[in-house]
Amino acid sequence: MELEVKTAEPKPKQLKLADYKTDVHNDWCPGCGDFGILSAVQMALNDLQIEPHRAVIFSGIGCSSKLPHFVKVSGIHTLHGRSLPFAIGAKLANPALTVVCAAGDGDGLGIGVGHFVNAGRRNVDFTYILHNNGVYGLTKGQASPTLRLGVKTKSLPMPNINEGVNSLLLALASGFTFIARGYSYEVKHLKELIKQGILHKGSAYIDVQQPCPTYNDINTKDWYAGEDRMDANTRNPLPRIYKLEDTGYDPLVKADSSDEEIQQKINRFIEKAMEWGDKIPIGIFLKNESVSTYEMRIQERIKTYFSSPPGTRNIADTEGCSNADLSAFFAELQVT
């Protein structure tokens, strides 16, 4: 499968990368992995030439969740853990919007994980970017749900007492139809993942390994780059990050894939998803095209859903009165 997305031919009034940037002061720490994610988001939107007013970025609360303020598309900075239901509401009310969510790992996999699991069952068309830094950044470095058992980052008084959750596996179990992992210092690669996620029809989950130089002194940029382990021969570091697509991994499940094929793909998925430590794969783990979106399911019930969605349907007549003709419903209840 091609990772790179061929983008639209330049239109007469081509939007530039700068058009996706705000002049809001960015107060992330120097060296924070979030900068790479921000760039990748802006680049992806620009590559896809999405008109800024048609895109909305939702976020929760955390360092990472400040992201929408730095992107010049509409941005809804919601509550801790709640970006998904806000986003789903907005998307279902106006299915023409391009909806992206940015959440922290505490935000999305701790307090907000109930929405994550339940979103999987719906397959609403959005792209969910999880800033996975192993810590609660904005509250000063407590362990996040992805930090592994026994790890002691800088600001923990004791080693982590909980096991870390494998978010790729969780996304699979929850039913996400697009599952990928990126790395915040592989900006171009990440940009392609985000584009693929946006183009995918359905719920796309992208786990992004994001170093937090301030609080996570274990999973640092150097660690990902393998600076702590040198190849005895080349004397070069042995990077932990590698690309799935370089191994011939095929994430595609089609509507007509056989059960056997699917089972095989899932076994492969799990094998890759469980890799950690010495080898950390990035790339697209799953792209399942066999599942309808929630919007399509609504459309089956409400024939005018796409043409006249909840957000923009006219509800009043020219005189400002309700235009709902409820006579049929009143008739059901009428007695005299």
Partner 1 sequence: MVVNKLSWMTGGAQGSGVDSAANIFGRSCTLGGLHVYGKREYYSNIIGAHSYFQIRVDEKPIRSHVDTIDMLVTFDEETLFRHYGEVVKGGAILYDPALVEMTLSRIPTLEPEVISKITAELNEFGLPPTVKGILSIAEQRGAKLFPIPFAELLGTLEAEMGKDAGANLKKTVNTMAVVSSLGILEFDFDMIVKGIEVQFSAKRKVVSMNVKAAEKAYEYANREYSKQFTFRLKKIITDEKRLYLQGTQAVALGKLAGGCTFQTYYPITPASDESVYLEAHETFRLTDGTDSQEGSIVVVQTEDEIAAITMAVGAALSGARAATATSGPGFSLMAEGTGWAGMNEVPVVITVYSRGGPATGLPTRHEQGDLLFSLYAAHGEFPRLVLASGDMEEAFYDAVRAFNYAEQFQTPVVHLIDKALANSTQTYPMFDTRKVIINRGELLAEDAVVTNGSEMYKRFELTEDGISPRARLGTAGAIYWNTGDEHDELGHITEDPENRNRMMEKRMKKLETAAQVIPLEEKVNFFGPKEADATIVSWGTPKGAILDAMELFEKDGLKVNFLQVRLIHPFPVEYVSGVLNRAKRKINVEMNFSGQFASLVRQHTGIAMDHLIVKYNGRPISRDEIYESVTMIMTNPKAPRKVVLQHGA
**Does 211 engage in binding with partner 1 (CB under 8 A)?**
no
Residue 133 contacts which entry, partner 1, Mg ion, a second copy, none (Cβ below 5-8 A, type-dependent): Mg ion
Q: Which one-letter DSSP state was computed for residue 316? A: B
Residue 31 sits at the vertex; the CA angle it makes with 19 and 21, to the nearest 5 degrees, is 10
Q: Is 144 in the site for ligand TPP (CB under 6 A)?
A: yes
The reply to whether 139 sits near partner 1 by the rule CB under 8 A is yes
Binding site for ligand SF4 (CB under 6 A): 28-29, 32, 34, 63, 133, 137, 212-215
Helix (H, G, I), strand (E, B) or coil at 268: helix
Q: Which is nearer to a second copy, 17 or 276 (CB)?
A: 276
**Which position among 26, 49, 94, 118 is part of the footprint of a second copy (CB under 8 A)?**
118
Question: Is 190 an interacting residue with respect to partner 1 (CB under 8 A)?
Answer: no
Q: What is the DSSP string of 19-33?
A: GGB--PPP-PPTT-T
267 binds a second copy (CB under 8 A): yes
Q: Which of 72, 91, 131, 189 lies at the binding interface for ligand TPP (CB under 6 A)?
A: 131
Which string of x and - marks every residue 58-97 that binds partner 1 (by CB under 8 A)?
A: x--x-x--x-xx--xxxxxxxxxxx-xxxxxxxxxxx-xx
Nearer to partner 1, 229 or 313 (CB): 313
Please state the closest distance from residue 147 (CB atom) to a second copy, in A: 10
**Site track 71-110 with Mg ion (rule: CB under 5 A), x = hit:** ---------------------------------xxx----
- Long-range pairs, 151-155, Cβ under 8 A, ≥24: 151/218, 152/218, 153/215, 153/216, 153/217, 153/218, 154/215, 154/216, 154/217, 155/215
Helices 167-174 and 259-273 pack at an angle, to 10 degrees, of: 150
Cβ distance to ligand TPP smaller for residue 62 or 164? 62
Q: What is the SS3 assignment for 158-194?
A: CCCCCCCCCHHHHHHHHCCCEEEEEECCCHHHHHHHH
45-64 footprint of ligand TPP as x/- string (CB under 6 A): ----------------xxxx
**C-alpha triplet 144, 139, 222: angle, nearest 5°:** 60
- Separation CA 116–CA 247 (nearest Å): 29
Rounded CA gap, 237 and 251, in Å?
29
Dihedral of alpha carbons 210, 212, 216, 219, sign: positive
Q: Contact with a second copy (CB under 8 A): which of 36, 75, 108, 120?
A: 120
User: From CA 65, how far away is CA 83, in angstroms rounded?
Assistant: 9
Determine, following the binding rule CB under 8 A, whether residue 122 of this chain makes contact with a second copy: yes
Strands 74-77 and 203-209 turn out to be unpaired
Partner from Mg ion, ligand TPP, ligand SF4, none binding residue 288, C-beta < 5-8 Å depending on class: none
Closer of 36 and 106 to a second copy (Cβ) = 106
Closest contact distance (angstroms) between CB of 228 and ligand TPP is 23
3-state DSSP assignment of residue 129: strand
Q: Does 60 bind a second copy (CB under 8 A)?
A: no
Looking up tokens 């056997």, which residue turns up?
A: 260
Closest contact distance (angstroms) between CB of 235 and a second copy is 29
Which residues would be at the binding site for a second copy (CB under 8 A)?
109-114, 117-118, 120-123, 145, 149, 158, 161-166, 169-170, 172-175, 263, 266-267, 270-271, 274, 291, 294, 297-298, 301
Interface ranges with ligand TPP (CB under 6 A): 61-64, 80, 104-107, 131, 133, 135-139, 144
